[in-house]
Structure 1
Amino acid sequence: MSATAGEAKARAARPRDSAALILIDGMGRKNPRILLGRRHAALTFMPGKFVFPGGRLEPGDRRMNIAGPLDARVEARLLKGRADPDPTFARALALAAIRETFEETGLVVGVKDYGGPDKPPKVWRPYAAFDCLPDLQALHFIARAITPPFLPKRFDTRFFAADARCVTAKREGVAHDGAELVELVWAPLDRAEKLDLPGVTRNVLDELRARLAAGMSPFAPTPFFHFSRGIWRRDEL
């Protein structure tokens, strides 16, 4: 193998910006339920694993209307370390979490008080058909994690959380045998830990438990998980 070919093989895939949403049913209770989806067994990335709904950032996420802005502390943590701290990027991440949750579960997280957007981006039109607007004030920023470099697909994911009472509508039949998520499960925290979870999901679940125990304080630091020298490392944003 040539040096060039060896370097190409060793070069890790570039992580894609993405976002996920943890919906919590029973916020404030001792053992609330959280929503997880089981990935299709035929997928090349994390087949059969239980994960939080989520996916990559789309250009249209920067242009979607909102009912309420991100908390200033959340925005600052989302932008920490970026050479270009553009607030629209932080907002787009939060919107991506809501949109991907709708696409993968059919759950519409938003408010109906103002009706739907006038001219939603194409990727948001199915969501907008429910006459809702995303309310980013309802989101908590739980963690950031980058997929290990040895995996074929890599994501730089920001994990948000929201009270399940923020769900105002539902599109039926989204999760099925031929979909990306074949099953949706509302699992109590103590049972969720026993499911077949990827390592990063388990790390985030531990952080969620600690955040819930602290009353979901907005002053709590947000962890940043990344893989270095063969182990997961935890920094704080």
Structure 2
Amino acid sequence: MRRTSPSCPTPSPLPPSPPQRAGPQATQALRPRDAATLVIVDRSAPTPRVLMGRRHPGQVFLPDTFVFPGGRVEPADRALARRLALPPREAERLSYAVHGRPTDARAAALALAAIRETFEETGFVLGTPASGPPSAAPGAWLDFMRAGHHPRLDGLTFFARAITPPGRTRRYDTRFFLTDAAAVTHCPGNLDGELLDIDWFTLDEARRLNLPSITHHVLEDVAKLLARPAKRLAARDVPFYRHRYGRFERTLLRPPEQNGR
């Protein structure tokens, strides 16, 4: 990688996960599952860069494309979310137009999924150093804790949401979070193998990669945010990408009292 960060204790070795193979075609519409993605921005140079990796060619979902690290919410994220909380402003914005009942724990689970998946796929940790031995952690979080950190939720900005179109082999309701590279630590170790060629790319370099369509859109949202001063990254309105009635649309998620304006 072209940017180095402080190192962490190496977690206990685990065998890499085998690539996912395509299974039988689903015969019914898939319901989108909660998922989250983390966009890490390095603003230490005159031209900002973002961390991306190429999905393994054997993956069922978006194979051989460059993406930001992320994945679906797991039970371990929901369990840990009962002990942690997002800043109220981020939790509130995550509650806009959700399916089911919005809760602070559900919002925290989304943020935790983004942090955990980023660690598993890239080795980057968004967390605070732990004092003493690792505390009890839900299964999927054990290696993160063994790396000597607790997850940190106050450094995240929720800035976009997208739902995978119908008819795909996987469907996700993905929330995109942004954080600064200064808040992360690199813990090289046993990655899960889902992302290859992990590196930092300027926005122009990223635009030339083999990107999924939604990643192109989100990358432009990142560009708009980075055009602002560093202390004003958060936006009140959040872009929401989905297909309705067979057409792709981009709307803005707003507080309920602003809907319809």
Q: TM-score range by the shorter chain?
A: 0.7 to 0.9
Q: State the partner residue of 2:73.
A: 57
Post-superposition offset of 1:230: 3.6
- Map of 1:8-19 to 2, 5 A cutoff? 11-19=28-36
SS of the aligned residue for 1:103 comes to helix
Residues 99-142 of structure 1 show CA distances to partners (whole Å, capped at 9, x for unaligned) of 00001111111111656752111110000002211111100112
Q: Distance in 2 between matches of 1:110 and 1:102?
A: 10
Question: After the TM superposition, which of the residue ranges 80-89 and 214-223 deviates more from structure 2?
Answer: 214-223
Greater shift, 192-201 or 110-119, is seen at: 110-119
Aligned AA for 1:217?
L
- The code of the aligned residue for 1:131 comes to G
Output the CA distance in 2 between the equivalents of 1:172 and 1:21.
19
Please list the CA deviations of residues 36-90 of structure 1 after superposition, one character each: whole Å capped at 9, or x if unmatched: 1101112221111001100110111123279974232211111123441211000
Aligned residue number for residue 144 of structure 1: 161
Instruction: State the alpha-carbon separation in 2 of the partners of residues 49 and 104 from structure 1.
Output: 14
Quick check: 1:62–1:89 contact (8 Å CA) kept in 2? yes
1:121 aligns with 2:138: yes
Q: How does 1:198-213 map to 2 (within 5 A)?
A: 198-213=212-227
Aligned amino acid, residue 130 of structure 1: A
SS of 1:225 mapped into structure 2 = strand
Alpha carbons of 1:118 and 1:210: their partners in 2 closer, same or farther (altered >3 Å)?
A: same
On the 8 A contact 2:26/2:169 being kept in 1, the answer is: no
Could you tell me whether the CA contact under 8 Å between 2:134 and 2:146 is conserved in 1?
A: no
1:181 lines up with 2:181 in the alignment: no
Structure 1: where are the runs of 5+ without partners? 1-7
Among candidates 222, 227, 245, match of residue 229 of structure 1: 245
* Distance in 2 separating the partners of 1:31 and 1:169: 21
Q: How is 1:13-32 mapped onto 2 (pairs within 5 angstroms)? A: 13-26=30-43, 31-32=47-48
- Distance in 1, matches of 2:132 and 2:125, equals 13
Q: C-alpha separation between the residues in 2 aligned to 1:107 and 1:66? A: 23
Q: What does residue 84 of structure 1 align with? A: 101
Amino acid at match of 1:103: E
Residues 116, 77 of structure 1: alpha-carbon distance in 2 compared, 3 angstrom cutoff:
farther
In the alignment, is the contact (CA less than 8 A) between 2:81 and 2:106 conserved in 1?
no
Note closer, same or farther for the CA distance 1:234–1:15 as it changes in structure 2 (3 Å cut): same
Deviations 1:1-58 (A, max 9, x none): xxxxxxx97742111111010111116x653010111011122211110011001101
1:217 to partner: Cα distance: 3.4
Paired amino acid for 1:73? R
Query: Is the contact made by 1:116 and 1:132 (CA closer than 8 Å) also made in structure 2?
Result: no
Contact (CA 8 Å) 2:225, 2:234: kept in 1 or not?
no
Q: Which residue does 1:134 correspond to in 2?
A: 151
Offset at residue 214 of structure 1 (A)? 2.5
CA contact (8 A) 1:66 1:135 kept: no
Gap regions ≥5 residues in structure 2: 1-24, 254-261
What's the C-alpha RMSD, in Å, of the aligned pairs?
2.4
- Of the structure 1 ranges 145-154 and 218-227, higher mean CA displacement relative to structure 2 is found in 218-227
- Structure-2 separation of matches of 1:185 and 1:171: 13
Deviation at 1:181? 1.1
